[in-house]
């Protein structure tokens, strides 16, 4: 178990500046009871009794940065519709400095989940890819925001906002800003030169191929680090914890903590937010990984896209100290 993260490290996260660029979305939840099956088709009838809305995607990364004590600036594209208005309101409530570029022809990405007794019954997605004009605005706005940022996060959910990811990475690295990428899809070449990639186990297997043994995973990680000229690769591995692979240095593994997993949605957002703040605060790799693992563990114990606070991380550290005594 990595023990490099100490309680005195946590105040160093306060006020660190993270620029988040990527696919912002609205997560909407409808809650209700199921007491019968529809006579029209063999599907449950949900009597909706409540609803909730939360920031999703890149907006949830920014939300997690703020929850952990940092400052977040969000750069994304939305439509001009009701979902965009709700994102605006939630960003204001969370004190996130956002520059949302509007594409009138674009439906704002919306994920609608219907749940009964904490079980998800169905998810409905509303989405489309931004127009070229909106993406050009992203590049222009990025140049202005880069001066403010200490660390850049590219949150890629495959919705099209990061079509120019390679250009953004080049500009950020030229300005000596670390770039953390939460990747999506099969084309990792466009992330070439990033500081850190954070695929989950399934995502990395999709691009690197499956592995049966630890040494095979290590070999694949080393290959992709060299191929993409990336400094670090963090593979999140669910019940196996997470492993940080580093160019020219030994890998670091942080095991998962035994806990009840309620919902894994949004946990990756928490991981990249925690890592970004750790980079900005100049914590070492071991402390950064441990922070990300603790924060993600807190979030999977909550329903839906959620955040971990500094206070909650401190409480987890205290539990670890007690267990070691």
DSSP 126-189: E--PPPHHHHHHHHHHHHHHHTT-SEEEEE--SSSTTTTHHHHHHHHHHTT--EEEE--SS-GG
Q: Beta-carbon neighbour count of residue 223 at 10 Å?
A: 11
Nearest alpha-carbon partner for 253 in 226, 234, 239, 230: 234
User: Is 225 inside any structural domain?
Assistant: yes
Number of domains in the chain: 1
Report the C-alpha gap between 187 and 195 in whole angstroms.
Answer: 17
pLDDT of residue 1: 45
Q: CA torsion 13→17→23→24, rounded to 10°?
A: 80
User: Is 69 inside any structural domain?
Assistant: yes
pLDDT of residue 238: 87
| Residue 270 domain boundaries | 7-25+54-109+127-324
- Spot the catalytic one: 269, 284, 285, 321: 269
Orientation of helix 132-146 relative to helix 165-174, angle to 10°: 10
Report the C-alpha gap between 9 and 281 in whole angstroms.
Answer: 9
Query: CA 312 → CA 54, 291, 298, 304, 325, distances in Å?
Result: 20, 11, 7, 17, 20
Give the CATH number for residue 72. Answer: 3.40.1190.20
Nearest alpha-carbon partner for 312 in 322, 293, 291, 298: 298
User: Is 219 inside any structural domain?
Assistant: yes
User: Is 159 inside any structural domain?
Assistant: yes
Report the C-alpha gap between 201 and 242 in whole angstroms.
Answer: 9
- Phi, then psi, of 257 in degrees rounded to 5: -90, 145
| Rg over CA atoms, the chain | 20
Nearest alpha-carbon partner for 49 in 60, 35, 61, 62: 35
User: Is 44 inside any structural domain?
Assistant: no
Q: Euclidean distance between the first and final Cα of the chain, in Å?
A: 15
Catalytic site residue 321? Answer: no
User: Is 37 inside any structural domain?
Assistant: no
Report the C-alpha gap between 240 and 161 in whole angstroms.
Answer: 31
User: Is 73 inside any structural domain?
Assistant: yes
Report the C-alpha gap between 126 and 112 in whole angstroms.
Answer: 8
Q: Beta-carbon neighbour count of residue 265 at 10 Å?
A: 21
pTM for the complete prediction? Answer: 0.94
pLDDT of residue 2: 46
Instruction: Output the tens digit of pLDDT for each of the chain's 325 residues.
Output: 445 788 899 999 999 999 999 999 999 999 999 999 999 999 999 999 999 999 999 999 999 999 999 999 999 999 999 999 999 999 999 999 999 999 999 999 999 999 999 899 999 999 999 999 999 999 999 988 999 999 999 999 999 999 999 999 999 999 999 999 999 999 999 999 999 999 999 999 999 999 999 999 999 999 999 999 999 999 999 888 999 999 999 999 999 876 666 677 789 999 999 999 999 999 999 999 999 999 999 998 888 788 999 999 999 999 887 766 5
Report the C-alpha gap between 284 and 3 in whole angstroms.
Answer: 12
Strand 179-182, strand 249-254: pairing: unpaired
User: Is 195 inside any structural domain?
Assistant: yes
**E-strand stretches of the chain:** 17-22, 24-37, 44-57, 71-78, 97-102, 110-116, 119-126, 151-155, 179-182, 196-197, 232-236, 242-246, 249-254
């Amino acid at each position: 178990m990595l023990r490099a993260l100490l309680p005195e490290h946590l105040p160093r996260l306060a006020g660190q500046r993270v620029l988040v660029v990527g696919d912002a979305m609205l997560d909407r939840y409808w809650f209700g009871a199921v007491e019968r099956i529809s006579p029209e088709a063999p599907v449950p009838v949900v009597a909706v009794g409540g609803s909730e809305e939360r920031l999703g995607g890149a907006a949830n990364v920014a939300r997690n940065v703020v929850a952990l004590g940092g400052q977040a600036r969000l750069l994304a594209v939305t439509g001009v519709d009701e979902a965009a208005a709700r994102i605006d309101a939630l960003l204001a409530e969370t004190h996130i400095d956002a520059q949302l570029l509007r594409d009138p022809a674009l439906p704002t990405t919306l994920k609608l989940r219907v749940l009964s007794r904490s079980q998800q019954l169905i998810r409905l997605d509303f989405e489309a890819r931004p127009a070229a004009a909106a993406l050009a605005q992203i590049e222009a706005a990025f140049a202005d925001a880069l001066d403010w940022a200490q660390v850049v996060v590219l949150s890629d959910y495959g919705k099209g906002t990061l079509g120019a990811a390679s250009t953004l990475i080049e500009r950020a690295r030229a300005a000596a800003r670390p770039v953390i990428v939460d990747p999506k899809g099969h084309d990792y070449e466009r992330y070439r030169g990033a500081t850190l990639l954070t695929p989950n186990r399934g995502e990395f297997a999709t691009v690197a191929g499956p592995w049966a043994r630890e040494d095979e995973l290590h070999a694949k990680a080393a290959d992709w680090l060299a191929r993409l000229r990336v400094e670090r690769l963090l593979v999140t591995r669910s019940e196996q914890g997470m492993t940080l692979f580093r160019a020219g240095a030994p890998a670091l593994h942080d095991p998962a903590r035994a806990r009840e997993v309620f919902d894994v949605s949004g946990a990756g957002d928490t991981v990249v937010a925690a890592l970004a703040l750790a980079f900005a605060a100049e914590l070492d790799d071991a402390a950064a990984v441990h922070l990300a693992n603790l924060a993600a563990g807190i979030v999977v114990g909550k329903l839906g896209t959620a955040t971990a606070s500094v206070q909650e991380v401190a409480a987890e550290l205290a539990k670890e100290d007690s267990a070691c005594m």
